[in-house]
Amino acid sequence: MKKFDKERVLLAVAGPVIALAVAFVLSAIVLIASGKNPVEPFALMFEQAGFSDIQVLIVNQASMYYIAALAVAIGFRMNLFNIGVDGQYQLAAMMAAVVGAHANLPAALQVPLLLLTAVFTGAFWSGIAGVLKVTRGVSEVVATIMLNAIATSLIVYMWKPDVFGVKVGNNNTTGEMHESGWIPGIDMGAAGEIYGLVILAVLLGIGYWIVLNRTRFGFDLRASGASESAAAASGVSPKRMVLTAMLLSGAIAGLAGLPILLGDTHTYSLNFPTGIGFLGIGIALLGRNSPVGIAFAALLWAWLDKASPELDFHGYDKEIAVIMQGLIVLSVVVSYEAVREWGLRRQQRRVGAELAAGHVLGANNTTKEVAGR
Amino acid sequence: MTAPTTATDVNQPSLEHAPPAGRRMSWPVLCLVIAGALALTSLVRLITGADGITNVSQMSTALQLAVPIGLAGLGGLWAERAGVVNIGLEGMMILGTWFGAWAGFQWGPWTGVLVGLIGGALGGLLHAIVTVTFNVNHIVSGVAINILALGATRYLAPLAFEGRSGGSAKQSPAVDSLGHFTVPGLSDGLSDLNDKGWFFVSDVAGLLGGLVTNVSWLTLIAVALVPATWWILWRTAFGLRLRSCGENPIAAESLGVNVYKYKYLAVIISGALAGLGGVFLSIVANPFYLEGQTSGRGYIGLAAMIFGNWMPGGLAIGAGLFGYTDSLNLRGGSANVHALLLLGALLLVIGAIWLAVRKKYVNAVITLVVGALVFAWYAGTNEVPNQVVSATPYVITLVVLALSAQRLRMPKADGMPYRKGQGK
Amino acid sequence: MCVINASSSPPAGAAVHGQATAVELAGITKRFPGVVANHDIHLTVRKGTVHALVGENGAGKSTLMKILYGMQKPDEGTIAIHGEKVSFSSPADAIVRGIGMVHQHFMLADNLTVLENVVLGSEKLYGIGAKARRKIKELSERYGLGVRPDVLVEELGVAARQRVEILKVLYRGATTLILDEPTAVLVPQEVDALFDNLRELKAEGLSVIFISHKLGEVLSVADEITVIRRGTTVGTAVPAETTPRQLAELMVGSELPTPETAESTVTDRPVIAVDKLRLAAPGGKALLDDISFTIHEGEVLGIAGVEGNGQTELVDALIGLRHADSGVIRLADQEITSWATRKRREQGIGYIPEDRHRHGLLLEAPLWENRILGHVTERPNAKGVWLDPKGAQEDTRRIVTEYDVRTPGIDVTAASLSGGNQQKLIVGREMSHKPRFLIAAHPTRGVDVGAQAAIWDHIREARREGLAVLLISADLDELIGLSDTLRVIYDGKLVADADPATITPEELGTAMTGAAEGHLEHEETPETPADASTSAESPEDEAR
């Protein structure tokens, strides 16, 4: 049905475009209200994006955002809110760092070991929330948030020298990981190195799409997210699906910190980036839970992140980027919902019109539809 | 049995059976349970010698920390009773802390209270617009508002506070105090009684002493809001209409109730209450705004609401419980938390016995094993690492939710999208 | 055959046949996107009468009443109450004018008490405390409704809730009551009790508009009947001078389809055997109490019963959504009692759910994904672990053609189809996997007559090929017409059985309320001219 296809593309694009436009306008208003030039900060940030070293930074950061957002998106497709990606990825990175510092296998084994450690840690941490939800009916929103806080305490505990910590100056670290666990980057010359695990991010994105759209399990997952009752009647075990989705989400979340861990820092310290999981939520929302959309959203977020420090040198506050992110998220959720409802109504009208006009697939009788429903 | 997922579903003749009887604990039983808990705590205090767990200053701090949690929980209650899930309480609380301090250090603490309240209410208004008018998923909207509130305060703080005396990019200058009161004779008397260290009596004295010593006026207001909420929601026409929006908005609409209006009001009030909780943090608990001050209390407030079965009384008890664990964190916790390990072990053993009586043998055994492990932890160590103490409020929240989530009854149309005219 | 006036409307406010007009709708038109729900409707209700509005499912009755009640605004036309032209922008306006609506789907909040439900929205009338309580008790006694103010609504049964709805309306001083399909959830005996209540209301000078598609009931209680078809009024009639058949033809415009079947296709090979199934609610009440039955190849077992007597639980237990506490379920020679839902569906149990929106469809998904729903592990939907979208899409096109699902394409969302077409899709989907045993729960509920006939045909055809069917329905004609064996469920037990070839709906109804048990014998009653049998065309008419 060509007509519907074109419309669907239009609808898919309308949402984010409207959202971004609104967010830009609102941010400009904030800038004006603080007595600053509304256009210059954006111009500066656009300019930054032209520099190759900034571009490398953007790609690297985006890869981690991407993985975190995928993790959140899996939850969203199941109507689950895994707000705990933040705690999951940090805990997983720390565990991977600790294992990498103590185990010294050849690279072909070390790297998979580290990946698996991260995956299992992330899955375990989100699994706690999943089990609580499935057995006791505890809301996963509150549970994962509590687990985030507990993870923070756990990490501080593990940084103690008598546990896993190695103090380097004033910095808490986990000691340097053995080189067999280091993953080389892609050399971009003077611009820097792109993390090798960016490839992992891409693979995960492809895997996400394939599993969700081309496998039976993916169908079950999407059905459960759309209508739990219909999915149950169709043979899905709701509890098992909830738990599986939470575990899967946590497993992927665990990988989010690895690009920088295995490609750059080689230790988990106070300098390790925080808040990636939280941002992943906004990125998943903007990207509409689709692997391509999330990729664009992750790049956008990373751009805001990496281009904004420049603003401080020109008399602006780099925090405007944070406000922008908040505004984008809010505009996005509103515009998506508005566009979706409009799209549904429009389709219902068009179908009604088509049927009334007699365009029925394969039918040859002409008795009209009875009015109303 | 499948649960209704849209407001129209709520409308079908309900053939489901009511949750197990006894979901409402009668007052006498409740008092007995509380008394029992106090007695047990007292016993533990005597055994371990950790006087800190029930002395007046601990209870006083506990009350103080219960207030923001309780206010956030009340905020959650107002919104959910009208059918709107408000995860954005944390963000509205953050707005309250910022606006309260910002107005407070410039124009006095009471102005700060007012402005902080308005700040939270603005957050509530935003949530209302997004969820009620645009029908966005409530949880998504709440999360978005939390992100926005964090970003906004992070942006505004340096602009407003940097360069002022005592201020920085992450902290505001100090705000004057709102004033405390202490009931003269009672406070001293109870304090003395508490010092005596007698079984049970001294602990009760500690509890009561905390309630009348050095209590901020805002605390009093907050405490008064609990019965006020009950009275407004259950004894007035306004409250009935609001609750009907959370139970069956289509029925309410069919009777001429403007559901949108009540949802809006409820969510704005919800934001204002959360904002008030934030104001408490930045004016009473600390005399300044600090980035990250709320540290999850908005969510703990939600947990208190769930624990209280969406009723103000239960919520207050839940807030008190969480406030207590929070205060442990604040006041030289290690020895106290260690002592409470014993309390935890004892409670688990009692729980195991109760489960066995009800013939849930598997659960009883599990509980007993966990209890034994906790006891081993207590016996085998002299103190507890700081990080355990800092994680305690959150762990307790999880435990409480896990235990209580089953026997609850939330407003039937809570969280469901509603559109005027969608009924049959 | 006389006194069927085709759409003539007396001047507004004029007394008709010497009585004042309570309500008059003139020229009402209402359009929705893609559909004209009401077109030039005329309705005149005289004061102190019961006026029935009849029409089949989807004819536009509900929309018309929503307009009268202020929930919708008409695009054209006028409304006059007691001769005065009015315009409503919300139910509140209609209530002020004395219009009270008793909805088909009750508008009651389970967690609130009866008192709270009644006073909601009209707290100014008598407050929300003692005064209101007194008023409720007074109204309850005056009209014999038996309503207790401080009970939680969720503890009330269906008939009691309906009486609360009526009281709600009277509390607000209604002088014109609209009852939307009130007997849909009642058994024939409860229907009589309701009609007695209506006669009392009439005696006090109130007017009642009674919407229904059950012609027999309408004829027994209405003073005047207006027929709606395809969104417009096609005539008015006086019951004493009309027969059900004439009314039916007005309603549908053609011969009514009959669900009856001719020869027996029942074999002696059992397909599904249920033995002593028990299921208890958490509080201990037995939802299913020693249910036992066997269905053979080519047999349709119909189960009659008032909603809430265990049908839903039985279906849940058979499809695997719930597991019985004890008892055995056998599919051919395999015991399937502990099997998961998916395995049962894979092994040949088809399921047409009672609530297609909740259990049968993904409303926002395209049709071809809905075709996959329930059969995601089977061909043509999947090959191994992989989905086969092309295969599913092709097969969806086939189903659309074979089962006459009216849609412009298969990429359209399920929500865009009408109820009847959604149901046809579901039937097509289930039949496409050649089930051995089909659970059909209210298969033609909310479905237009054409689709209903088509679905019956498909069931009958599959039956001929050896399908075993469990048919649960509130439509007694459908049950009697389609079933080979008929049982009655009451309070979780199968209390009675009957011969569909001879039984009448009233006799069934007696068992459905628990007033009869065992084998129900049909008693021949002498025919009278105005024999108000409750079916438009009962099988026995044909048989005689």
Long-range CB contacts (within 8 A, 24+) of C537-542:
C537/C245, C537/C248, C537/C256, C537/C258, C538/C477, C538/C480, C538/C504, C538/C505, C539/C258, C539/C260, C539/C480, C539/C481, C539/C500, C539/C501, C540/C502, C540/C504, C542/C258, C542/C260
Residues in contact with C461: Cβ distance below 8 Å, sequence separation at least 6, in sequence order = none
Q: Which helix (H) or strand (E) holds B124?
A: helix B109-128
Question: Does the residue C284 lie in any domain?
Answer: yes
- Residues B107-112 have a mean pLDDT of 89
Q: What is the pLDDT of residue C514?
A: 67
- Calculate how close chain B gets to C184, using CA atoms only, in Å: 12
Enumerate the residues of chain C whose CB falls inside 8 A of the CB of residue A348: 33-34, 415-416
Per-residue pLDDT reduced to its tens digit, B153-188: 988 888 888 877 877 878 888 888 888 877 777 777
Q: Residues in chain B, how many?
A: 424
Residues C393 and C468 in one domain: no
Last residue of a domain, one of C405, C433, C461: C433
Find residues 116-175 of chain B whose CB sits inside 8 Å of chain A: 126, 130, 134-137, 139-141, 143-145, 147-152, 154-155, 158-159
- Structure tokens given for B43: 């016993």
Q: Which of B134, B143, B299 sits opposite A142 (nearest CB)?
A: B299
CA–CA gap between residue A326 and residue A319 (Å, rounded): 11
A225, closest residue in chain C (CA to CA): C362
The chains found to touch B (3+ Cβ pairs under 8 angstroms) are A, C
Query: Of C124, C71, C126, which Cα lies nearest the Cα of C94?
Result: C71
Indicate the number of domains in chain C. Answer: 3
CATH class of the domain at B51-331: mainly alpha
Say how far residue C217 (Cα) sits from the centre of its chain: 14
Mutate to test the interface with C, among B2, B12, B14 (most CBs of C within 10 A): B14
Identify whether the C-beta of residue B294 lies closer than 8 Å to the C-beta of residue B90.
yes
- Structure tokens given for C183: 């007997």
Identify whether the C-beta of residue C181 lies closer than 8 Å to the C-beta of residue C57.
no
C34, closest residue in chain A (CA to CA): A352
Q: What angle do CA B169, B172, B173 make, to 5 degrees?
A: 125
Is A30 an 8 Å CB contact of chain B?
yes
Is B40 an 8 Å CB contact of chain A?
no
CB contact under 8 A, B391 and A153: yes
Per-residue pLDDT reduced to its tens digit, A4-31: 567 777 777 888 888 888 888 888 888 8
- Residues A235-241 have a mean pLDDT of 91
Per-residue pLDDT reduced to its tens digit, B22-32: 345 567 777 88
- pLDDT bin (cut points 50, 70, 90) of residue A74 is very high
- Residues A99-119 have a mean pLDDT of 89
C125, closest residue in chain B (CA to CA): B237
Residues C115 and C224 in one domain: yes
Give the predicted TM-score (pTM) of the model. Answer: 0.81
Question: Does the residue C542 lie in any domain?
Answer: no
Query: Of C46, C45, C53, which Cα lies nearest the Cα of C18?
Result: C46
CB contact under 8 A, B409 and C111: yes
Residues C442 and C293 in one domain: yes
Greatest mean pLDDT among A146-150, A167-171, A241-245, B25-29 lies in A241-245
Question: Does the residue C113 lie in any domain?
Answer: yes
Structural domain boundaries in chain B: 51-331, 332-404
Per-residue pLDDT reduced to its tens digit, A268-308: 888 888 889 888 998 998 888 999 999 999 999 999 888 88
What count of other Cβ atoms lies within 10 Å of the Cβ of residue B394? 27
- Residues B292-302 have a mean pLDDT of 88
DSSP class of residue B280 equals I
Residues C344 and C492 in one domain: yes
Q: What is the pLDDT of residue B406?
A: 60
- Residues A165-192 have a mean pLDDT of 80
Question: Does the residue C162 lie in any domain?
Answer: yes
Question: Does the residue C353 lie in any domain?
Answer: no
Is C111 an 8 Å CB contact of chain B?
yes
Q: Which of A1, A233, A365 sits opposite C319 (nearest CB)?
A: A233
- pLDDT bin (cut points 50, 70, 90) of residue A252 is very high
Long-range CB contacts (within 8 A, 24+) of C141-150:
C143/C167, C143/C170, C143/C197, C143/C200, C143/C201, C144/C196, C144/C197, C144/C200, C145/C197, C147/C114, C148/C114, C149/C113, C149/C114, C149/C115, C149/C118, C150/C113, C150/C114, C150/C115
What separation in angstroms does the CA of A36 have from each of A24, A45, C170, C295? 15, 15, 64, 80
pLDDT in tens, chain C (544 residues): 334 444 444 444 444 455 688 888 888 888 887 677 888 889 899 998 999 988 776 678 878 888 888 888 888 899 998 888 888 888 778 888 889 888 877 889 989 999 999 999 888 889 888 999 999 999 988 887 888 999 999 888 777 888 899 999 999 888 999 998 888 777 667 788 888 888 888 888 899 998 887 777 788 888 999 988 878 888 888 888 877 667 766 766 655 555 665 677 788 888 999 999 999 877 677 788 889 999 999 999 999 887 778 899 999 999 999 898 999 999 988 999 989 999 999 999 999 998 888 899 998 899 999 999 989 888 888 888 899 899 999 999 999 998 888 888 888 888 888 888 899 999 999 999 889 999 999 998 878 778 888 899 899 888 888 899 999 988 888 888 889 999 998 888 888 888 888 887 777 777 776 667 788 777 665 444 443 333 343 333 333 3
Question: Does the residue C544 lie in any domain?
Answer: no
CB contact under 8 A, C120 and B240: yes
Enumerate the residues of chain C whose CB falls inside 8 A of the CB of residue B16: 154
Q: What is the pLDDT of residue B395?
A: 86
Residues C181 and C70 in one domain: yes
Q: Which of A142, A317, A326 sits opposite B302 (nearest CB)?
A: A142
Is A39 an 8 Å CB contact of chain B?
no
Last residue of a domain, one of C406, C433, C460: C433
Residues C236 and C287 in one domain: no
A33, closest residue in chain B (CA to CA): B156
- pLDDT bin (cut points 50, 70, 90) of residue B415 is confident
Residue C100: give the domain boundaries.
21-252
Enumerate the residues of chain B whose CB falls inside 8 A of the CB of residue A141: 87, 139
CB contact under 8 A, B159 and A34: yes
Per-residue pLDDT reduced to its tens digit, B53-99: 777 788 888 888 899 999 999 999 999 999 999 999 999 999 999 99
Task: Spell out a b/e string for A112-121, using b for 16 or more CB atoms within 10 Å of the CB, else e.
Answer: ebbbebbbbb
Is B1 an 8 Å CB contact of chain C?
yes
Question: Does the residue C468 lie in any domain?
Answer: yes
Q: Which of C72, C158, C283 sits opposite B17 (nearest CB)?
A: C283
CB contact under 8 A, C101 and B421: no
CATH number at residue C170: 3.40.50.300
The chains found to touch A (3+ Cβ pairs under 8 angstroms) are B, C
Enumerate the residues of chain A whose CB falls inside 8 A of the CB of residue C340: 235, 237
Residues in contact with A161: Cβ distance below 8 Å, sequence separation at least 6, in sequence order = A167
Last residue of a domain, one of C377, C401, C433: C433
What separation in angstroms does the CA of C197 have from each of A235, C141, C142, C201? 46, 12, 10, 6
Lowest mean pLDDT among A353-367, B293-307, C124-138, C310-324: A353-367
Residues C77 and C223 in one domain: yes
Residues C69 and C145 in one domain: yes
Enumerate the residues of chain B whose CB falls inside 8 A of the CB of residue A156: 387, 390
CA–CA gap between residue C459 and residue C465 (Å, rounded): 10
| ipTM surpasses 0.90 | no
In a 13 Å sphere around the CA of C442, the CA atoms on its Cβ side amount to: 18
CB contact under 8 A, B144 and A326: yes
Query: Of B257, B307, B200, B329, which Cα lies nearest the Cα of B83?
Result: B257
Question: Does the residue C335 lie in any domain?
Answer: yes
Q: What is the pLDDT of residue C229?
A: 81
Residues C123 and C160 in one domain: yes
Residues C94 and C133 in one domain: yes
